[in-house]
Amino acid sequence: MVKIVRKKVLNPSVTLLEVEAPLIAKKARAGQFIILRLDEQGERIPLTIADYDREKGTITIIFQKVGLTTELLADLNEGDHIQDFVGPLGLPTELPEGAKRVCVVGGGVGCAIAYPQAKTCHAEGIEVDVIAGFRSKDIVILEDEFKAVSDHCYIMTDDGSYGEQGFVTVKLKELIDSGVHYDAVIAIGPIPMMKFVSKTTEPYGIKTIVSLNPIMIDGTGMCGGCRVTVGGKMKFACVDGPDFDGHEVDFDELMNRNAVYRAQEAEEKERHACRMDQLAKEMIQ
Amino acid sequence: MPNMSLKKVPMPEQDPNVRNHNFQEVSLGYTAEMAMEEATRCLNCKHKPCVGGCPVNIRIPEFIAKVAEGDFKAAYDIISDTNALPSVSGRVCPQESQCEARCVRAIKGEPVAIGRLERFVADWYRENINAMPEKPQTNGIKVAVVGSGPASLTCASDLAKHGYEVTIFEAFHTAGGVLVYGIPEFRLPKAIVQNEVDKLTALGVDLETDMVIGKTFDIDEMFEEGYEAVFIGSGAGLPMFMGIEGETLAGVYSANEYLTRINLMKAYREGYDTPLKISGSAAIIGGGNVAMDAARCAKRMGAKHVYVLYRRDEEEMPARKEEVHHAKEEGIEFMLLTNPVRVLDDGTGKVGGLECVKMRLAAPDESGRRAPKVVEGSNFNLEVDTVVMSLGTSPNPLIRSTTPGLETNKKGCLQVDEETMATSREGVYAGGDAVTGAATVILAMGAGKKAAASMHEYLTKKHSK
């Protein structure tokens, strides 16, 4: 059982929670994740560790409301508890040795995961460029945080309502073509975005690290629910990753596997909505 | 005068066509009358071969004599003196190859139903007395147990009885290991496992769930925190896949994933959030007990056809005969001498069928086993939308990769001294599937017991210096 000590609504669909988890905070490193379960009947879901404070003994998670569990999680408040909170899981991100300059590319809520990467690189004295992409102005998150840990920070919006207009890949290509040398690119966001960042860097031979987000159950390597194909080989993202070489990942397969439960997930969410309506009605009466 | 009936008193069961639609226990257990009648079949022989066949050496004729007298409490005390999980072992032990295999009555007729009697006694105690054990006087020495499956529960129980302050570290949110995530409710009700765990905590054992050893906390840190000995009972939870085309299509599961969703996460129950794909038809690949469990679960989840595909013949199937029999009664279809070669894509990235080949068994090789060979040109397609790989498991590398100085063999199993269960690191012991690779619940319990005895000896020596 962990206690929520801070809640911050970052945009209408993205929430930040800071929880007390001293043992996990002591070990956590950028790139790792936790698994949580809200209550006895809950499912186990993975969320990346967005930040940690070893002294305070806290872990920060940032997540988007996409279904039943994340909706319920977003309804929790400071002082509430989460029944199960397990971690740190997975391997920490490994940059190429002696990396001097990296580009951290974040897409949407993936920026929450890109942030600790930028922070870690910056703290190690690596020159950090951040390209953060969003659909539009109203969902921009973590801009100040990114600016604090980067040398250059580019905010992109698809519709041009804030920052520069265009996809992150356009900006990335522009920077590379202008002669900026990156030792590595770290891309975190929706699967298509990671796929296209990888495609963008491939011709230049720039090491590209992506953080994969397959379906997980235990998160400790015992079921293979999170298996992905990397370089033609089967890997379990929870123990061999979640970071992998973007040039070797079969993204289409990952997208396909992530869609298995879409219909059931929609049903669950619907069921929850009905339950909430019912509760609201009862409260009015 | 003993009861000379050649047959065991039958145990009532749910009707196959009723039970294959529910998750309630299949076998209903003996009544007191049935148990007392069966108990009189025991000859109480002097040399007690049955005891030697039991990995935790239950004093079998002694407890059975008490059952015959109707003194079930006394019978329970005798069993629980050496066995920490009688209601579990009475249900899931392969008695036919252990205690009952050595029963004198088996020479002519059926052996005494030792497992059914053990189960009856444990169930009777839980339903009628259910006294929680008292916490023994502590000796102030801290020991840690990694994992909470049958090996660990047994080890922790024995150590707690000696007065050690035991902490169990479990990675999942519920204790029990394979007893909760692997073996389905219809073979082993989870309330029974929970009752055994409750008894352990009553003995003073501290249970820490959500602790992934090697990640959240490691073995070096345990010693730094003052634990003086560690038992590793982390099992063999790493699933194997075939390496065939289409294995990452949506609808292909490892048996571990399939069973974890159903048993631990209760995907079969209304109101639980974990989803499971509902199959039209399912193919389960493998011939062990886990394959039987997965097949019977698939049937209960509503699959019209459930096929078990095994590359050898029924004689060679590693599953217990009783489980195969139960599966057949429930309508599971066995396709023997059959092996998958490719999972077919339905065009949308989901399983659209399974391409299989027929197999034949070659003449026995040096090991005496007949190797399965492909019958060329026998390829055919099986219409299924779910495939469950139940090919076996190996130990998870997490602990060995994060604990310096732990020796393992080629298969990733921890190496121990067979007499003492001591690993290559001082004060660290191991047992169960983490050492042997996937085996049985009762062997794990035996190993946990042995390890507890040598940990006690080691710590006694250490503290008498």
pLDDT digits (tens, 9 = 90+) for B216-243: 999 999 999 999 999 999 999 999 999 9
Nearest Cα residue to B57 out of B442, B430, B457, B441: B442
Confidence of residue A282 (pLDDT cuts 50, 70, 90): low
A102, A184 in Cβ contact below 8 A? yes
From B437's Cα to the closest Cα of chain A, the distance in A is: 14
CB pairs under 8 A between A and B: 111
Res B145: pLDDT: 98
Q: Residue B210: which of A42, A86, A256 has the nearest Cβ?
A: A86
Closest by Cβ to A256, choosing from B171, B239, B250: B250
Q: What is the DSSP letter of A205?
A: T
Span B116-136, mean pLDDT?
A: 94
Residue A268 scores a pLDDT above 80: no
The string of pLDDT tens digits covering residues A74-122 is 999 999 999 999 999 999 999 888 999 999 999 998 998 899 999 999 9
Within 8 A of A264 by CB-CB distance, chain B residues are 275, 277
Q: Do A87 and B253 touch (CB under 8 A)?
A: no
In this predicted structure, what is the pLDDT of residue B375?
A: 96
Kindly report the number of other CB atoms within 10 A of residue B294's CB atom: 29
Question: For A235, which residue in chain B has the nearest alpha carbon?
Answer: B248
Sheet with A243-245, side-by-side order of all strands? A164-165, A152-157, A127-134, A101-107, A184-188, A208-211, A243-245
Q: What is the reported pLDDT for B366? A: 83
What gap in Å lies between CA B12 and CA A109, rounded to an integer? 56
CB contact at 8 A, B178 and B149: yes
What does the pLDDT read at residue A83?
A: 97
Spatial CB neighbours of B49, under 8 Å, sequence gap ≥ 6: B102, B103, B104
| pTM of structure | 0.94
Per residue in B380-396, pLDDT (tens digit) is 999 999 999 999 999 98
Is B250:B355 a contact under the CB 8 Å cutoff? no
Confidence check: pLDDT of A275 > 70: no
In this prediction, residue A277 carries a pLDDT of 64
The pLDDT assigned to A278 comes to 66
Q: What is the pLDDT of residue A285?
A: 52
- Minimal Cα–Cα distance from B385 to chain A, Å? 12
In Å, what is the CA distance from B437 to each residue of A114, A122, B91, B395, B433? 39, 45, 22, 6, 4
A146-155, A254-263, B22-31, B344-353: least confident range: A254-263
> Does the pLDDT of residue B52 top 80, yes or no?
yes
Average pLDDT over residues B353-370: 90
Please tell me which of the candidates B215, B251, B275 has its beta carbon nearest to residue A264: B275
Query: Which of A218, A251, A264, A272 is best to mutate for the B interface (most B CBs within 10 A)?
Result: A218
Termini Cα distance of chain A: 34
Q: Does A101 touch chain B (CB under 8 A)?
A: no
pLDDT of residue A246: 97
Residue B212 and residue A256: Cβ atoms within 8 Å?
no
Phi, psi at residue A2, to the nearest 5°?
-120, 150
Summary mean pLDDT of chain B: 94
Q: What is the dihedral of CA B176, B177, B180, B184, to 10 degrees?
A: -140
Residue B462 CB partners (closer than 8 Å, separation 6+): B228
pLDDT of residue B4: 86
Interface of B with A (CB under 8 A): 171-173, 209-212, 215-217, 237-239, 241, 243, 247-251, 253-254, 256-257, 260-261, 265-266, 271-275, 277, 348-350, 396-398
Three-state secondary structure string covering chain B: CCCCCCCCCCCCECCHHHHCCCCCCCECCCCHHHHHHHHCCCCCCCCCHHHHCCCCCCCHHHHHHHHHHCCHHHHHHHHHHHCCCHHHHHHHCCHHHCHHHHCHHHHCCCCCCHHHHHHHHHHHHHHHCCCCCCCCCCCCCEEEEECCCHHHHHHHHHHHHCCCEEEEECCCCCCCCHHHHCCCCCCCCHHHHHHHHHHHHHCCCEEECCCCECCCECHHHHHHCCCCEEEECCCCCEECCCCCECCCCECEEEHHHHHHHHHHCCCCCCCCCCCCCCCCEEEEECCCHHHHHHHHHHHHCCCCEEEEEECCCHHHCCCCHHHHHHHHHCCCEEEECEEEEEEEECCCCEEEEEEEEEEEEEEECCCCCEEEEECCCCCEEECCCEEEECCCEECCCHHHHHCCCCCECCCCCECCCCCCCECCCCCEEECCHHHHCCCCHHHHHHHHHHHHHHHHHHHHHHHHC
Distance from the Cα of B113 to chain A's closest Cα (Å) equals: 35
Span A21-41, mean pLDDT? 95
Q: How confident is the model at residue A274 (pLDDT cuts 50, 70, 90)?
A: low
Average pLDDT rounded to a whole number, residues B34-63: 95
Nearest-CA distance B273 → chain A (Å):
5
Q: Does residue A257 belong to the interface with chain B, where contact is any CB pair within 8 Å?
A: yes
Nearest Cα of chain B lies from the Cα of A76 at a distance, in angstroms, of 17
What is the DSSP annotation of A92-154?
Answer: PP-PPTT--EEEEEEEGGGHHHHHHHHHHHHHTT-EEEEEEEESSGGG---HHHHHHT-SEEE
Contact A234 B247 (CB under 8 A): yes
On whether the CB atoms of residues B319 and B296 are closer than 8 A, the answer is no
Percent of chain B having pLDDT more than 70? 100
Residue B153: pLDDT above 70? yes
Q: Please give the Cα distance from B234 to B400 (Å, whole number).
A: 10
Question: Regarding beta strands A14-20 and A33-37, do their DSSP bridges make them parallel or antiparallel, or are they unpaired?
Answer: unpaired
Tokens of B376: 């060329």
B209, closest residue in chain A (CA to CA): A84
Q: ipTM score here?
A: 0.91
pLDDT in tens, A120-151: 999 999 999 999 999 999 999 999 999 999 99
Question: Which one-letter amino acid corresponds to residue B159?
Answer: L
Render pLDDT for B86-120 as a digit per residue (tens, 0 to 9): 999 999 999 999 999 999 999 999 999 999 999 99
User: Can you tell me the distance from the alpha carbon of A134 to that of A151, in angstroms, rounded to the nearest whole number?
Assistant: 20
Q: Which residues on A lie below 8 Å from B347 (Cβ)?
A: none
Distance from C-alpha of B389 to C-alpha of B376, rounded to nearest angstrom: 23
Lowest mean pLDDT among A258-267, B344-353, B409-418: A258-267
Q: Which two tokens stand for residue A100?
A: 């001097």
User: Can you read off the two tokens belonging to residue B395?
Assistant: 């130990």
Half-sphere exposure of B137 (CA within 13 A, CB side): 1
Q: Is the pLDDT of residue B188 over 90?
A: yes
- Cα separation values, A99 from A93, A128, B196, B394, Å: 13, 11, 54, 37
The C-alpha of A127 sits at a distance from chain B's nearest C-alpha, in angstroms, of: 30
Contacts A88 to B, Cβ<8 Å: 215-216
Rounded to whole angstroms, how far apart are CA atoms B117 and B322? Answer: 17
Give Dmax (Cα) for chain A. 67
Pairing of strands B229-232, B428-430: parallel
Is pLDDT of A32 > 90? Answer: yes
Output helix, strand, coil percentages for chain A, rounded to the nearest 5.
35, 30, 35
> Is the link from the previous residue into A242 a cis peptide, with omega within 30 of 0?
yes
- Mean pLDDT, rounded, for A63-69: 91
**What is the mean pLDDT of the segment spanning B36-49?**
95
Residue B72: which of B12, B8, B132, B118 has the closest Cα?
B118
Give the pLDDT mean for B144-159.
97
Confidence of residue A276 (pLDDT cuts 50, 70, 90): low
As a whole number of angstroms, the distance between CA A29 and CA B93 comes to 43
> How many CA atoms, within 13 angstroms, populate the side-chain half-sphere of residue B404?
2
Closest among A231, A219, A191 to A87, alpha carbons compared:
A219
Angle between helices B32-39 and B60-69 (to 10 degrees): 130
